Amino acid sequence: MQALFKNIKGDRLIWAIAALLAIFSFLPVYSAASNLAYVGGSGNTFGYFVKHFMHLFLGFAIMYGVHKIPYRYFRGLSMVMIPIVIVLLIVTMLQGTTIEGANASRWIQIPFVGMSFQTSTLAAVVLMVYVARYLSKIQDKKVTFVETLLPLWAPVFFILILILPANLSTTAIIFLMVMMLSFIGGYPLKYLAVIIGTGVLGLALFVLVAKAFPDAMPNRIDTWMSRIENFANGEDTEADYQIENAKIAIASGGVKGLGPGKSRQKNVLPQSSSDFIFAIIIEEYGLIGGLFLLVLYSWLLFRIVIVSQKSDTVFGKLLVLGVGLPIIFQALINMAVAVELFPVTGQTLPLISSGGTSIWMTCLAIGIILSVSAKREQMKEQELNEDNPLEILSETI
């Protein structure tokens, strides 16, 4: 164990925050999983606990392995992974399956292991790395809109088009994060305005085509429109049923909460261990538990910005922000949905909610951030050794 800790590099506070979030997740996931266990008929809640543990164990193994890779290699890997991701998304569209009653086919089955994988989450991480690579490449260069169309925006829009039919919220988040990273990376604002306008027009055209041919994607457009309209009008829907039960859970929790495992709304709240786990956390741990999570995510955001600023290259700076900011944004959206500040989106709470793909891709993103910070630590150690003549003398002897 001691040897393992010696091999852990990168920002130790980010490691600590990730570990705290993972450890904290066990009790609410175990508590909320009781609904899944009894609805499914098995009655075995411990199985969900073990499953969540294995997801986290594999996730931290991914984090550890990725953080040992020099981050400069992610430049080339992103270019290799883009076509692979596109193929996976096409396969998902054609053969995707429905998991835990979700009303869209977003998962593919991994052969021989009996596990499912949500390809859009991998696509999001790969795409952010790819965009960071391209923006760092054109830094301090005067570019025209036309010359960026094929190398930058063609992969972005192609991937978003493949994700859109099954997952509007993920598509919107990825598009927003790409726009934010492009702005931070210095991409000309007048070109960004054209891209945003194109994205809005493309979405409107997609909705019109889907309305004209409803058999192509049954219920998807109607679901999106009804969620947005009913959120604005406050009408009763299935999504409203979820929100109302989430609000009851939050109101029941008060300041201190009902205590671990004592949630009552977990028995009636759909997706209580994933999409709406924040409501269960507040019901059991109160406002104190909710603020604790908010502080952890805010702390993680602070460390992400610090690592980005300390990176020695433009690619490192953009890479950290590109894969790090979506984690915080997703957490805020999940919390906002639970308190009815945002329409129901189906976004999980990073490192807290159950679900293997979400945990693995969050750990992948954090591993990339740690790789950048590890490079900074390595450079500092080299500088210290160069400034210490006794260290140099001892090495020569």
Q: How far apart are CA 366 and CA 326, in angstroms?
A: 11
**Which DSSP string do the residues of 250-262 spell out, in sequence order?**
HHHHTTT-S-TT-
* Range list of β-strands (E), the chain: 107-110, 115-118
- Taking alpha carbons only, the member of 362, 288, 364, 376 closest to residue 330 is 362
Length of the chain: 397
**Under-50 pLDDT residues of the chain:** 100-103, 236, 389-397
Q: How far apart are CA 160 and CA 126, in angstroms?
A: 12
Radius of gyration of the chain from its Cα atoms, rounded to whole angstroms: 22
- The pLDDT, as a whole number, for residue 6 is 73
The answer to whether residues 14 and 263 touch, using CB atoms and an 8 Å cutoff, is no
What residues does 117 pair with on adjacent strands?
108
Q: pTM above 0.85?
A: yes
Q: How far apart are CA 243 and CA 309, in angstroms?
A: 39
Q: In this structure, are strands 115-118 and 107-110 parallel, antiparallel, or unpaired? A: antiparallel
What residues does 115 pair with on adjacent strands?
110
- The pLDDT, as a whole number, for residue 342 is 82
The DSSP 8-state label assigned to residue 97 in this structure reads B
- 37-57 tens-digit pLDDT: 666 555 567 778 888 999 999
- 349-373 tens-digit pLDDT: 999 998 888 999 999 999 999 999 9
- Taking alpha carbons only, the member of 367, 350, 368 closest to residue 296 is 350
Q: How far apart are CA 162 and CA 155, in angstroms?
A: 11
User: Could you give the count of Cα atoms lying within 13 Å of 251 in the half-sphere of its Cβ?
Assistant: 7
- The pLDDT, as a whole number, for residue 103 is 43
User: Quick one: how far is CA 36 from the chain centroid?
Assistant: 23
Question: Can you read off the two tokens belonging to residue 96?
Answer: 């995707």
Residue 110's H or E segment, with its range, is strand 107-110
- Backbone φ and ψ for 113, nearest 5 degrees, come out as -110, -10
Q: How far apart are CA 236 and CA 343, in angstroms?
A: 13
- Could you give the C-alpha distances from 167 to 161, 163, 174, 204, 380, in angstroms and in order? 10, 6, 11, 15, 43
CB-based contacts of 33: which residues, under 8 Å, 6+ apart?
A: 45, 48, 49, 52, 273, 354
Question: Scanning the structure block, which residue is given the tokens 């091999």?
Answer: 7
Neighbouring C-beta atoms of residue 54, cutoff 10 Å: 12
Handedness of CA 55, 58, 63, 64 (dihedral sign): positive
Q: Burial of 207 by CB count in 10 Å (0-12 exposed, 13-18 middle, 19+ buried)?
A: middle
Question: Scanning the structure block, which residue is given the tokens 């991937």?
Answer: 159
The answer to whether residues 354 and 159 touch, using CB atoms and an 8 Å cutoff, is no
Q: How far apart are CA 89 and CA 95, in angstroms?
A: 10
